[in-house]
Chain A
Amino acid sequence: DAEITQSPRHKITETGRQVTLACHQTWNHNNMFWYRQDLGHGLRLIHYSYGVQDTNKGEVSDGYSVSRSNTEDLPLTLESAASSQTSVYFCASSAAGPGELFFGEGSRLTVL
């Protein structure tokens, strides 16, 4: 069955370290998205991509970057982790348009 997987599921890191969260989907979807989930804020869009070599900033993109070198993967990099980036991160993909998203199970990141 097609799926979307995130790794690691849990990570603890220190302030200032670079961190990369992986997202891999086997749906062959063109569209991929990264969200963060924080209490009281719901899901906020970090970055998104509509195809290979395409990346776009979302509403909370500062301190994050993504790259899309193939259809299956959209890694999320925190250049210099900050405590404010402690959160649960969700990757999602869709075949057509942003609405019908398939989500990964999330990556819980703690920055100490």
Chain B
Amino acid sequence: GEDVEQSLFLSVREGDSSVINCTYTDSSSTYLYWYKQEPGAGLQLLTYIFSNMDMKQDQRLTVLLNKKDKHLSLRIADTQTGDSAIYFCAETVHNKLIFGAGTRLAVHP
């Protein structure tokens, strides 16, 4: 089936790095995405990576892609309380976007 898998919960201390992991299913996905959902809001595109890349960095965000293992990760450096949210990874399957269940990131002092 079409299952994108993520761990459901991650707790980190403010200032530490957060790493959110995801495994996807379709090796032909051209782009892989990370979306962020803040409480009571819709999802917002955070970053994405093209499938021919293995790393993308954007300020505090680093995306790593391991195509062989179909593994995607999102690293947030210097995690802040404002980073508390649900993070979804998503892949494109048959021209549709398939989301994982989301990882709830809790940042504590």
Binding site for B on A (CB under 8 A): 33, 35, 40-45, 48, 58-59, 90, 92, 97-106
Contact = CB atoms under 8 A, between A and B. Distances in A.
Chain B binding surface, main DSSP class:
strand
B42 interface: yes
9 contacts: A40-B8, A41-B101, A42-B88, A42-B100, A45-B98, A48-B96, A98-B96, A99-B92, A102-B45
**Among B43, B48, B88, B102: residue with most chain A CB under 10 A:** B43
Interface string B1-34: 0101000100000000000000000000001010
> How many of chain B's residues touch chain A, expressed as a range?
20 to 34
Interface of B: 2, 4, 8, 31, 33, 35, 40-45, 48, 88, 90, 92, 95-102
Contacts of A41: 101
A105 B42 contact: yes
Contacts of B35: 101
